Each structure stands twice: as structure tokens, then as C-alpha cells.
Amino acid sequence: MSDGRRPPPTVRLRRLAAELRRLRAATDLTREEVTEKTGINAATLYRVEKAQAKPQKRTLLALLDLYEAAEEQRANLLAIQRGSDDRGWLRPYHAELYEEYAAYIGFEAEAHTVRNYESLFIPGLAQTEPYARAVIRGVLPTASQKAIEQRVQVRMERQALLAKEDPLRLWAIVDEAAVRRMVGSSEVMREQALHLLQLVQEPHITFQVIPFDKGAHVGMSGSFVHMDFPDPADPEVVYVDTRAGDVFLESEAELRHYKSMFEHLQAVAMGPNDSADLLTKVAEARD
């Protein structure tokens, strides 16, 4: 039985929505005017433009006719519409994940580069299994053991993206608190530091630490993830985990803001070599 949740959007569905918004803007038509000219329900048009619903083929054709889309663009958008439901990354138990997290791992699975700043945790893509289990148990103290193990399994599966033939590019920056805070046990932290030292040997992985002595910095306002995708036409996205809920941001102004923040964090953080030296010291201190 369906739980009534809307399936998470895919990158292709977001791209289709972005292209339709752009085409409507180019014609200077409001949503109300599009509804009047095509008969498409206003709520349906809103959901399509927000990537909350896949347009039916006849709906898409009506919009492309109204916007006088060029033949090549029509063919491309129709092809995207046909493949917009592809969620090859889903597993049966993923249905139990909350909607935003399911969407996040879907975007991550299709990303070219992930730029992740974390103030308190080691990024999920770089966590060891014992560290992930200790973090999830600590953050979700009322979760069942089954729920914890499912989340751990999802986190470990995500890391396969770093080992595939054309691996995900990961640039992670963390506050020193993330590598110093005791999570699980001394042995868990030692294993985590050694795991990070192995990861940073890979050319597609960059890891930097912002030391305590740098004082206040822009990352203190909270963690975030910026993703871009192999096709430049696919809209970039920023993910922010807040107390009020998880948020996906994709406006040009929002993207500029978080790109600028990440550049500031890169500048204030120790370089990759010095960061690796710190990880070595952390591992030795846990012996």
C-alpha cells in the first residue's frame, strides 16, 4: 500500500522543470496565462515547474507548442520526459527513508562533484561503518536497531560512488571539531582517521580541516552540500540540513552564496597535506 508520499525528484525531472520555466519566462507568460491558453490545470503546471510531478506527454507537447520550442529542444525535452522516472539507485528498504534524504541520495548518485562542509561530523561519504553507526545512534536516540542498521547500510552503499570506474569527485572541508570529537570510542576514532588518510590518497578526493585557531568563520552558520552534474544543463543544487527540515536550494542567488561560502572555507582551511598531518596526529593520539 502506498504511504501517500510523493516520490523524490530525479535530476532529469529537475532539468525538465528548469527548462520549462526558462521557456515560459522567454515568452513573458505568467502561469495563469499559460493555463488560459492551454487549458492545463494551474496546480498541475505549478507542480510540473517545481519538479513535483512528471508532465504527461500531451501536457508537455501543449507547453512546447505554446512556447514555440525548436525541434531539437522539443526532441531533447521529450526524451528527458520519457526517462525522468529512472531511479536505479533505489533499494526496497529506501522507501522507509524520509523523502528529502531519498531525494538527496538520488541526486548524489548522479552528481559529478560533491562539495561538502561539515562542522561536527565526518562527511557521510567518508565515514567508517562503526563511526556511522555511533553517529546515527547518537543523533537518533529513539530509533530502533533496525532503523539504525538500515541507515548505516544506505550510508555504506553511497560510498561505492567513490570507487566506481568514473568516480564521484568529493571535496570535503570539516571543522577540527569533526575530527577531534569522540564518537563511539577511541578505537572508532582511530579507525576513522586512518580511513580518511587512505581516502585522501585518491586523486578525486580532497579533504581539508579548519583548525580551531582560525577562530570564527563562515561555516559556523551550518553544514551544507553543493552538487553539480555531468551535463552542464542539469541544474546544480545545494542541500542544507536545518532544524526546521532539509532544504534544497537551486536559485542562482542561492548557488552563488554557497559557492562563495565554500571558497572562503577553502581559503581558511589547512591545505590537504597539513590536514593529512593532523589526521595522523589524531590517529596516533588514539593508540
Task: Please give the pLDDT value at position 21.
Answer: 87
Considering the domain architecture, whether residues 55 and 197 belong to the same structural domain is answered as no
Q: Are residues 243 and 151 in the same domain?
A: yes
- Does one domain contain both 68 and 111? no
> Looking at the structure, do residues 201 and 231 belong to the same domain, yes or no?
yes
- My answer on whether 78 and 101 are in the same domain is no
Domain span holding position 250: 95-285
CATH of the domain at 35: 1.10.260.40
pLDDT band at 94 (very low <50, low <70, confident <90, very high): very low
In a domain, 6, yes or no: no
Q: Are 18 and 124 contained in the same domain?
A: no
Residues 110 and 79 occupy one common structural domain: no
DSSP alpha helices (H): ranges in 93-217?
Answer: 99-110, 129-139, 145-158, 176-180, 186-199
| pLDDT at position 52 | 78
201 and 267 housed in the same domain? yes
Does residue 228 share a domain with residue 104? yes
Which is nearest to 171 in space by CA: 108, 109, 256, 114? Answer: 114
pLDDT per residue over 203-255, tens digit each? Answer: 999 999 999 999 999 999 899 999 998 877 778 889 998 766 678 887 889 99
Mean pLDDT of 256-282: 96
Residues 6+ apart with CB under 8 A from 56: none
Confidence at 3, pLDDT banded by 50, 70, 90: very low
42-50 average pLDDT score: 87
Residues 6 or more apart from 8 whose CB is under 8 A from it? 87, 99, 100, 102, 103, 106
- CA end-to-end distance (rounded Å), the chain: 51
How many domains is the chain partitioned into structurally?
Answer: 2
CATH of the domain at 160: 3.30.870
DSSP state of 39: -
pLDDT value for 98: 57
Best CA proximity match to 121, nearest among 106, 139, 103, 105: 139
